[in-house]
Structure 1
Amino acid sequence: MFIKQLPIRCACTHKSDVRSQFAALCYRVVKNRVEILMITTRRSGRWIVPKGWPMDGMTPAECAAQEAWEEAGAKGYAHDHCLGLFSYNKMLEPEAVLPCVAMVYPIRVKSLANAYPEMKQRRRKWFSRKKAASLVLEPELARILRDFDPKYLK
């Protein structure tokens, strides 16, 4: 599956200023329709996908699966195929931002836990690909969500 990657925009002066993260595109197929699990941010409450920092001893897909569990209570199969990248600015403080690039890995969700680490800090909800894409601010992520088709995964 090839999703056309949009150019990444980065408001930084040096490449070393950019941090890498791994994101989870959590999905399920219901009645032949793909649904994407979205979560809210802690501060603003806007809709995003689970994402987080690299972890020692874990592959990028395993890191994405770990974030899916911690932030959304999602358990499932993590594909090692990166779907694409998106850039965003992580707010550290009211006036401090950290430019990040997140690599997106698909996670086929098998179950959702009733209790998970960040359950009191976030909401989660299933959306169609089109609706999920319309909710995010990052154009690269919107394209990945809209164009995602699990039938092309190995």
Structure 2
Amino acid sequence: MSIKTAVLIEQSGVIPYRIQDGQIEVMLITSSASKRWVIPKGLIEPDMTPQDSAAKEAWEEAGLLGKVFPDLLGTYEYQKSGYICQVGVFLMQVQAVLEIWPEASKRKRQWVSIPKAIKRVNEPELKLILGDLPNRFW
């Protein structure tokens, strides 16, 4: 009998936000394969901090440029290809939304309110992180 050890893959991601008419909006994107609503995230590049790596993912996956804050908002896990991915989540103040970006043909993106974002994402821990966002502003 063999025991399969779960492999944990560390990733980093951002919750991109803007203030629109006094309300916080976050940008969600679709995953490349299943078209679920997710946040920009990916493997932490070996030569980058988790924050810088997450900023790179926001550019590649969503066409967003901005300031990533240093504090970790929280973490969540999800399964992909038989592995467990643990995502460290950071807050990103969006400063530019590009019309052309590397994964534009693979993904949709949309600004949504926090309650709508909570309904759209699947991961329970990510829902909690999103729900706590207003406490960081007011």
Q: Any conservation in 2 of the 1:22–1:60 contact (CA below 8 Å)?
A: yes
- Partner Cα distance (1:14, 1:21) in 2: 19
- Partner Cα distance (1:100, 1:59) in 2: 17
> Which of 93, 99, 111 is residue 114 of structure 1 equivalent to?
99
2:95 is paired with a residue of what secondary structure? strand
Deviations 1:10-53 (A, max 9, x none): xx9546x1111001110001121000100001111110001000
Structure 1 residues 1-154: aligned runs within 5 Å = 14=5, 17-91=7-81, 97-149=82-134, 150-151=136-137
2:70 is paired with a residue of what secondary structure? coil
Q: Counterpart of 1:128 in structure 2: which amino acid?
A: S
Deviations 1:62-106 (A, max 9, x none): 111110000000000011110000000013xxxxx2111100011
Q: TM-score, normalised by structure 1?
A: 0.83
- Partner Cα distance (2:33, 2:43) in 1: 18
Aligned residues: 135
Runs (4+) off by over 6 Å? none
- Partner Cα distance (2:69, 2:35) in 1: 28
Q: Counterpart of 1:60 in structure 2: which amino acid?
A: P
* RMSD over aligned Cα atoms: 1.5
Unaligned runs of 5+ in 1: 1-11, 92-96
1:148 is paired with a residue of what secondary structure? helix
Q: Counterpart of 2:128 in structure 1: which amino acid?
A: R
Q: Counterpart of 2:54 in structure 1: which amino acid?
A: A
- Partner Cα distance (1:131, 1:146) in 2: 11
Identity of aligned residues (%): 36
- Partner Cα distance (1:67, 1:143) in 2: 22
Q: Any conservation in 2 of the 1:19–1:98 contact (CA below 8 Å)?
A: yes
